[in-house]
Chain A
Amino acid sequence: MARRPSARIRRPAAALCGVLLAGAGLSACDSGSAGAGVAGGSGGLTFATDTEPSCIDPAVSPLDVTALIDRNIFDSLVNASPDGKIHPWLAKSWSVSKDGRTYTFKLREGVKFHDGTPLDAAAVKASLDHVVDPKTKSSYAAGLLSAYDEARAENASTLRVALKRPDATLLQSLSTAYLGIQSPKALKDTATLCRNPVGTGPFTFAGWKQKQSIQLKNNDAYRWGPPTAAHTGPAKLPGLTIRFIQENAVRVGALNSGEVDVIGGLPAPNVRTLKRSPRLQVLSSQAPGGTYSVHLNPARGPLKDKRVRTAFLRSIDLDQLVKSVSFGQYDRAWSQLGPRTLGYDKRIEGSWAYDTELAGKLLDEAGWSKRDGEGYRVKDGKRLTVHWPFVPQLLREQRDILGQGIQAQAKKAGIQVRRDAKDTGTYSKQIFAGDADLWDSSNVRADPDVLRTLYASDQTLAKGGMNVFKVSDPKIDAWLRHGAATADRTARAKDYVKVQRRLRDEALVLPVYVPTYLVGAAKDVKGLSFEAASYPLFYDVSLGDS
């Protein structure tokens, strides 16, 4: 490929080599000239992303990027299409018992792991047991299997999974890469599991240069792609290199200069320039699950008063704010659920519009009618202040600017939003203690059950959930419980619509924007699609000129 700079690099570098290294007494020169495109030689595709997982055992790491990488290495029992429907994959069929507590899977035959081990019911059982084993120290996957009791191999191709309670989200959970099926042989070597993923997927793991890149090779024995894919048989790419380039400017530059073929985490401000380039394209996918939202603490301070919470929500002009900060790339959110999620309430849109007059009236009613010298509202000599701690290093997607925007708009309504920069340790300690008025998060998941993690009263941080402000609302609890235990999609959707409206009416959350995965790619990259959780899939991808 002409656009790879590798050929041109070699000569000047070699000439400089002797000069520079003479003093250092190093021998790096001889290994040096192959430096440019890591995947250049193999003709594979190079994908650059901003974060590197610390462990790529899918059962361990909670990161999106782990799922993105592992999706290429591991297949799952079932497959979910972006609309949330479940299709067969390693399981060709399944049945659910009447009480919703026993799932029986019939496995596909002839499937082999990368190490040659055949896939059978015992292997799947070993893989699921590994996820829930406390020794695995799972950060996320074990949570997906929280209802799991045990699995039993009835025979080589039949697996029975017993649950502690009915769980309507089980199949969706099983479809994620976090619950990808691992080779029982590889699972035995627990010491290297983080760096030696062995699955049945379209690519095999070939190496990891920590802090730099992960190499994957085509698995030419692959015949069991999911029905949602555009083709069957082995992946089209001979290899895949995932490079970790943390700096946004450098990642975009590397795409522009042709050093990498695809980049993830494309910063919204770069989209317009990329679209103008004749040889680049921008692809995007809205993530399902929780939107990026600011949660309000109803248990302390001025936000105890529902009128103050509502006033805060109504005083932020999100249409303008999200549009300008994301350069039009993200949609503003109306609900805690993203529009692509099952049960999304379309009618919530526009139902709590920006209304400063109403906000002012509510605050007056709540007794915050006086203003101090700086324009903030006061009551009994106390200023209307809310605290919003954050960790600067963890901010992404221009969330720092969004935060400042929210702060500025709240100020107009007379509410002081204090953004307190903390280190990760202090931050988590504070959040655990509920010592904050505002807390922001986005929880991507292709199922509305994400609402249960965020708002069910039994999902507080201490109990392993994400209900940070310990919201305890019997109505919400009942709908969420029902939604999680009901198999019928229409019935489930109704429960989640009710939850979304209740969250709005109680003003418990300020939904801000719909997380959107932005990808920049060279135009000759064909067939790139997105997984249900909206990260890019490489199985169908081909490079135009290779």
Chain B
Amino acid sequence: MTGSARSVLRWLIRRIALSALVLLGSATTAFLALRLTPGDPVRVILGGSSATPEVLAQVRHELGTDRPLSEQYVLFLGKLLRGDLGTSYQLRDTVSHVIGSQLRGTVELALTSFALAFVVALLLAVSTAGRWPVVRGISTQLELVLSSSPGFWVGVLLLTLFSFRWHVFPAAGGDGFSGLVLPAVTLAASMVGVFAQVMRAGVERALEEPFVLSARARGSGETAVRFRHALRHAMVPMVTLSGWVVGTLFSGAVVVETVFSRQGLGRVLATAIQGRDFPVVTGVVVVSTLVFVVVNLLVDWLYRVIDPRLREVPA
């Protein structure tokens, strides 16, 4: 094994071990937080029925909520290690099935809106960085407006225009691509602004660097300088944003899924919290932490790809 391969391996093992710790921590926090907040799930499940104290006790026993907290926690962890997320109190279905059936909607929405936001921001930033003061000014203002508009409002606005008035896209619950456009645009809108600002600053900084001057001296055209040389430098701060992006995609999805009546994890989580559906809440928390951890691993690897200097130094 070469030295650099060994350093990559060591880096990877360390990162995976850390990730496992993060997962354990978030699962534990979710477990504890749910048990500490007021609200008895059995009361919520049995709602307005004339449930006698005996029936209540029987249901508590069946769900295991009558056991001591430590015992519940050990059981929960044991199941989790075996990949068993439990059964939903409200939906009477396994949590893995619930999440499985809704994951696709969230992933589609997240990836599409991320790609859309990225491409639009890139074009805005690279084309206006350090030139055309008027266009740059308008673009910056627009980005500020976009990033500060609430998703709920943007969504309803888009629906009013494109669904109710012009009938271009379905209003709610549309399947496949035509149903994905407006939700993706809504979710992307809030990210475009931030992306573009960060990228533009990066490109503008890079354009000041001596290597740009030398590239120009070698006869590179303006477009080539911007896209080939400056953009790569502007990407490093973008990668740092990834944590924020994953968070935004998840939290923004709740609003977008509600406005557009889409399938998705965000709404499942929101309903589960209200209904004190412990297994679903912990399940979604574990799955989203997993996504977060994987994205962070990828991002750290991306740093090394984008910035060759990092490959030499063991992380």
Listed in ascending order, the chain A residues whose CB lies under 8 Å from chain B are 5, 8-10, 12-14, 16-17, 20-26, 28-38, 48, 54-55, 57, 60, 62, 134-135, 137-143, 146, 191, 193-195, 209-213, 243-247, 249-251, 253-254, 256-257, 259, 393, 423-426, 428-429, 432, 459, 462-466
Contact = CB atoms under 8 A, between A and B. Distances in A.
Given A9-B167, A35-B179, A244-B173, A426 B38 contact: yes
Contact of A250 (B50, B51, B159): B159
Given A34-B175, A37-B170, A54-B275, 11 more contacts: A21-B115, A24-B115, A35-B170, A55-B90, A134-B59, A139-B45, A209-B173, A211-B262, A249-B156, A253-B171, A259-B170
A425 B40 CA distance: 7
Contacts of B151: none
Contact of A243 (B43, B45, B173): B173
Interface residues of B, number: 71
Contacts of A28: 108, 112, 176-177, 180
A62 B45 CA distance: 10
Interface string B100-130: 0110010010011011101100000000000
Q: Looking at A57, A393, A425, which has the most chain B CB atoms within 10 Å of its CB?
A: A425
Given A140-B47, A257-B164, A425-B37, A211 B174 contact: no
A5 B167 contact: yes
B171 A259 contact: yes
Contact of B163 (A13, A31, A137, A257): A257
A34 B176 CA distance: 8
Contact of B50 (A8, A146, A210): A146
B102 A137 contact: no
B93 A194 contact: yes
Contacts of B261: 211-212, 243-247, 250
A21 B59 CA distance: 47
Interface string B244-285: 000000000000011111111001100100111000000000
Interface in B39-57: 39-40, 43-53, 55
B253 to A, nearest CB: 12
Contacts of A17: 177
Contacts of A432: 43
Contact of B102 (A194, A211, A250, A257): A211
Contacts of A210: 91, 98, 101-102, 263
Contacts, number: 221
A34 B55 CA distance: 47
Contacts of B90: 54-55
B263 A212 contact: yes
Q: Looking at B43, B48, B105, which has the most chain A CB atoms within 10 Å of its CB?
A: B48
Contact of B171 (A26, A246, A250, A463): A250
A306 B34 CA distance: 41
A211 B116 CA distance: 25
A459 B51 CA distance: 11
Contacts of B105: 211
Contacts of B267: 211
A463 B53 CA distance: 7
Contacts of A33: 176-178
A253 B160 contact: yes
19 contacts: A5-B163, A5-B168, A10-B178, A13-B178, A17-B177, A28-B180, A35-B170, A35-B174, A38-B175, A62-B47, A138-B46, A139-B47, A141-B49, A142-B49, A210-B98, A211-B261, A253-B163, A425-B276, A428-B43
A14 B276 CA distance: 41
A426 B39 contact: yes
Nearest to A5: B167
B181 interface: yes
Nearest to B63: A137
